Structure 1
């Protein structure tokens, strides 16, 4: 009798719980990201490019160039966010993912620039490919990490001295960024540095550091304003007497001062003006005709302070003349009328040549040979040395425009927080409702036009002396369009946003001359992207930010910043 042995069926393979699988996946991703960060730290000491003509000479081994050093900084920040014990408070996973995305974008731009400037990817040395591989590894590793909690750094109650130290450090970073960016003559290097700055802002936002700085700035506004002006005043000392860079910087300030005047019209009152550059031109032509130039057509040469007031008054008068019959229309109709006014001004200046009209501007030739300013014996055209640094004529005009912008900021801030400013905001939000509540709509509109035009005329008076000559072709429609674009890009109704937007739109064409044929395409793409991801602008007014994000939980005004909101209170919808 045979017996059969029955064997038990094999047990099915044990499976790990989902929590353990996620934990192992996160551990593997963290290790991968750490390896990528180590590569980003080490590869800058290798050669990235075969030839020295690419970017800022990345051919050295053992000595990183400036752009390579930024990759090292990115690797260090990524490593800290991955391994630091306080990463839960700053959402280390989200910050690390942002750092990896920024590093990948930065390295892609670097590799593309080397290939374009040297004639192919074959000119990228192994060090460059290793750096790109490190960025990709870091990106892959951080993508599998859990999202992590919302960063709480902005809610940390820090001592006031630490807040002031953070503001000072941020302003010092702005000074370095401005000095380094203006010093880049290579277009690819400038684009790469711009990408690095964008990545840095992205990382600080994702980690909560930007929110903490915003809260610190709201609690220490006086320190912020003082630090900003100290940094702006110190900027010429970083240029080692370079007239080329200071010329760009002074033009940026003139553009920003003009945009602040337009910000009253567009940002506060909500009136779309597409011919605003005419007021800048009116101030410039007034200053030119009253100057001591051999081509000046008016035999009266008052002091410059008087010329500034006359230039502003004439521009404001033009604002009243164009505003009185046209401000009863709004929207697209007002935009068309103001656009036509800008073209009429340019054509009129061309016709004041002694043949088609009185000889005031010499027609298309304009008024050249405008002498440098001489205020109280100080000649703005003469270079001088301060602390061993040569300060040229453009630095002198730069400091003059700083004073002008300071006065404009004082006027703008007081108007914004006054009954007049609240009336402008009410008109912008709902003109019919404002009129029903007793707001003098037409009078406030006219005041906005005249006030903005006066500020543009003041900026034009300085611009005439800095540019040495004034011609009608300098004041075309595209300049008005760039002014409006700068306000929209930076943030309507704010001072900082206008300065940032005007700086970007004025600086980019100067540094990207190789992209000149596609400049309008670049601006259009930039504005479309902004309207999609941040319609309120880079540095928006808190009121407008709430309007665009009234359903976001993280947009609740902080106690420190709530007092800055003026005008009609905005009630957010609560979701329970």
Structure 2
């Protein structure tokens, strides 16, 4: 017996019409309010928000923004620009190729949240609303007005698919709206969008340079935030701001251009990274930079194992430890049981080789397992490594690793007469110890990126992807699954050991506690895996960005104390909820997630 449901029971919105926003206002008025509110938010940043300089950032000056006011100014400017682009203003239409309404909402939300957070922080720290100047109240009102106008913007619903003329209701309209958006994003991601294709090559290269420069400025500003409130405001503005750029389609357009000029993009990215130490006045923030590079390099090595080969390794940080301990033992440390002092290249080879050997020894008996079973075994290996080096103290076992005290007093690296522990002057700028190691790690990161890129594009890389997608089908097509997975495991371990050799010299000391599965300070296996998933599995830039965020955010959120991991975990949950494919996803992975999201709703005709 077949039943047919009718659409008369529930009122539905006609296809092709525009849904009203969360607030009922005519679209033209809503757009004007949002755009005008954004412009007034920019102006309010030039007013004094408080009468005393006791609140950090000096928000007492008329005519010049300070501290958090700069972030409010940026959010208001984005809202204004997106609003003008929605009117089709000449020269600004390129800003929102996918439509400006969603971007207006996100940028207005950034301005509102940052403004109100700042005013609440001023009131709480200084003791009440009486400490606010009229400029603060004006900023609160105009940012709220911009948000109200943005929330009143309509949600457009495209016409239904002509292939199914019988279903013109909400389900089909929703499906087609998502499908249209996915098609548009896929066009920009694949570089087939006409707007990105018609630009001259030199203009596209200039766009790449501008994008990389912008990224360097944002990264440097985030690291250099001088007080806690400023960093929280930075997270709010940057989070909603980048979301607005993604929604507008501008990020997709830039991504298409960078994909077209991959070599130029890679060279520009490393040039921008090399410029980072020159933007710092001392070693304080260069320290964070070198640790981020160590973390990012190890995450990129893990991306070969997890992102390309699809092997869930929960003990990967142990390979970092193997490389660090091996290099520390042969670098002339007085705590080492071996009286060996090899040069830098010798220590690097020892550390990388030791990690590769351990990768093969661990992978050979375990890589015949799949999925959760492999994850449990690798997790066990990580804990076995930590417990073993902790017991090799001369009491519970042979005196090799000095037990819980670790190997300390590891000397600084010296290469071609260059001592990485001393200050040096480059172009008249003094470069300190951590800046020296930053350049060294940048070179190692470049090597790892080249290895990852060449491996991913090779025959073995395609075999890894085949194993990841469907191991049974790959085996049926003649791929030697065990050999292919063992190569991935050994290569990933080698790259981790390579980074571990530098980490040992940067930190001066290696101890077992540094290589736990979940440690308060990254890198550890949990954070490494999160960096790969968060950034985007199977990509080069994804784990680099993910590792930078996962190291920078906990380092800056230490003032939260016991609530640090709670706030960090909530942020990860929200990000995975709204962008499960990662910040910079692989195109195949992005389509997989969106295909499941765009699956048609339950059919209106059912059989029983």
- Match in the other structure for 1:198: 239
Report if the CA contact (8 A) 2:333-2:408 is conserved.
yes
Shift of 1:442: 0.9
Report if the CA contact (8 A) 2:305-2:312 is conserved.
yes
Point out the more displaced range, 340-349 or 67-76: 67-76
Aligned residue runs from structure 1 range 305-454, under 5 A? 305-454=345-494
Aligned residue runs from structure 1 range 82-93, under 5 A? 82-83=83-84, 85-86=89-90, 90=96, 91-93=99-101
Query: After superposition, what is the alpha-carbon deviation per residue over 1:30-54, rounded to whole angstroms, capped at 9, x for unaligned?
Result: 3423441232122112222354343
Report if the CA contact (8 A) 1:278-1:475 is conserved.
yes
TM-score for the superposition, normalised by structure 1: 0.88
Aligned residue runs from structure 1 range 108-257, under 5 A? 108-147=116-155, 155-156=194-195, 157-240=198-281, 242-257=282-297
Shift of 1:486: 0.7
Count of matched residue pairs: 534
Counterparts of 1:229 and 1:474 in 2: how far apart (Å)? 28
Point out the more displaced range, 488-497 or 290-299: 290-299
Shift of 1:289: 0.8
Q: Mark the CA change 1:136 to 1:396 in structure 2 (over 3 Å): closer, same or farther.
A: same
Counterparts of 2:292 and 2:591 in 1: how far apart (Å)? 30
Counterparts of 1:82 and 1:427 in 2: how far apart (Å)? 47
Shift of 1:65: 0.6
Report if the CA contact (8 A) 1:103-1:199 is conserved.
no
Shift of 1:60: 2.1
Shift of 1:551: 6.5
**Pick aligned residue for 1:531 from 576, 583, 595:** 576
Aligned residue runs from structure 1 range 57-76, under 5 A? 57-76=58-77
Counterparts of 2:391 and 2:93 in 1: how far apart (Å)? 68
Query: After superposition, what is the alpha-carbon deviation per residue over 1:395-428, rounded to whole angstroms, capped at 9, x for unaligned?
Result: 0100001110111111111111111111111111
Counterparts of 2:592 and 2:345 in 1: how far apart (Å)? 42
**2:62 counterpart SS class:** coil
Report if the CA contact (8 A) 1:102-1:196 is conserved.
yes
For the pair 1:106 / 2:114, whether they are aligned, the reply is: yes
Aligned residue runs from structure 1 range 49-60, under 5 A? 49-60=50-61
Query: After superposition, what is the alpha-carbon deviation per residue over 1:470-508, rounded to whole angstroms, capped at 9, x for unaligned?
Result: 111111111111100111100111110000110111111
Counterparts of 1:358 and 1:115 in 2: how far apart (Å)? 60
Counterparts of 2:498 and 2:404 in 1: how far apart (Å)? 23
Counterparts of 1:415 and 1:361 in 2: how far apart (Å)? 34
Point out the more displaced range, 520-529 or 447-456: 520-529
Shift of 1:186: 1.2
Q: Mark the CA change 1:95 to 1:340 in structure 2 (over 3 Å): closer, same or farther.
A: closer
Shift of 1:24: 8.7
- Match in the other structure for 1:267: 307
- Match in the other structure for 1:28: 29
Q: Mark the CA change 1:28 to 1:339 in structure 2 (over 3 Å): closer, same or farther.
A: same
Q: Mark the CA change 1:354 to 1:191 in structure 2 (over 3 Å): closer, same or farther.
A: same
Query: After superposition, what is the alpha-carbon deviation per residue over 1:91-150, rounded to whole angstroms, capped at 9, x for unaligned?
Result: 344433332122122223323433444355554433223212111111212333345697
**1:45 counterpart SS class:** coil
Q: Mark the CA change 1:331 to 1:464 in structure 2 (over 3 Å): closer, same or farther.
A: same
Counterparts of 1:333 and 1:49 in 2: how far apart (Å)? 59
Shift of 1:324: 1.5
Counterparts of 1:93 and 1:356 in 2: how far apart (Å)? 66
Q: Mark the CA change 1:162 to 1:379 in structure 2 (over 3 Å): closer, same or farther.
A: same
Point out the more displaced range, 28-37 or 454-463: 28-37
Q: Mark the CA change 1:184 to 1:36 in structure 2 (over 3 Å): closer, same or farther.
A: same
**1:271 counterpart SS class:** coil
For the pair 1:480 / 2:525, whether they are aligned, the reply is: yes
**1:385 counterpart SS class:** strand
Q: Mark the CA change 1:114 to 1:457 in structure 2 (over 3 Å): closer, same or farther.
A: same
Counterparts of 2:40 and 2:449 in 1: how far apart (Å)? 46
Q: Mark the CA change 1:115 to 1:424 in structure 2 (over 3 Å): closer, same or farther.
A: farther
Supply the RMSD in Å over aligned alpha carbons. Answer: 2.4
Q: Mark the CA change 1:392 to 1:54 in structure 2 (over 3 Å): closer, same or farther.
A: same
Q: Mark the CA change 1:519 to 1:272 in structure 2 (over 3 Å): closer, same or farther.
A: farther
Residue segments in structure 1 that go unaligned for 5+ positions in a row: 1-17, 554-576
Q: Mark the CA change 1:411 to 1:134 in structure 2 (over 3 Å): closer, same or farther.
A: same
Counterparts of 2:54 and 2:448 in 1: how far apart (Å)? 44
Shift of 1:67: 2.5
Q: Which has the larger radius of gyration?
A: 1
Report if the CA contact (8 A) 1:282-1:460 is conserved.
yes
**1:550 counterpart SS class:** helix
Q: Mark the CA change 1:121 to 1:471 in structure 2 (over 3 Å): closer, same or farther.
A: farther
Report if the CA contact (8 A) 2:331-2:343 is conserved.
no
Point out the more displaced range, 371-380 or 417-426: 417-426
Counterparts of 2:420 and 2:93 in 1: how far apart (Å)? 54
- Match in the other structure for 2:14: none
**1:61 counterpart SS class:** coil
Report if the CA contact (8 A) 1:155-1:212 is conserved.
no
Residue segments in structure 2 that go unaligned for 5+ positions in a row: 1-16, 159-180, 519-523, 599-608
- Match in the other structure for 2:46: 45
Shift of 1:438: 1.1
Query: After superposition, what is the alpha-carbon deviation per residue over 1:303-359, rounded to whole angstroms, capped at 9, x for unaligned?
Result: 211211111111111111111221121222211111111111111111111122221
Q: Mark the CA change 1:61 to 1:470 in structure 2 (over 3 Å): closer, same or farther.
A: same
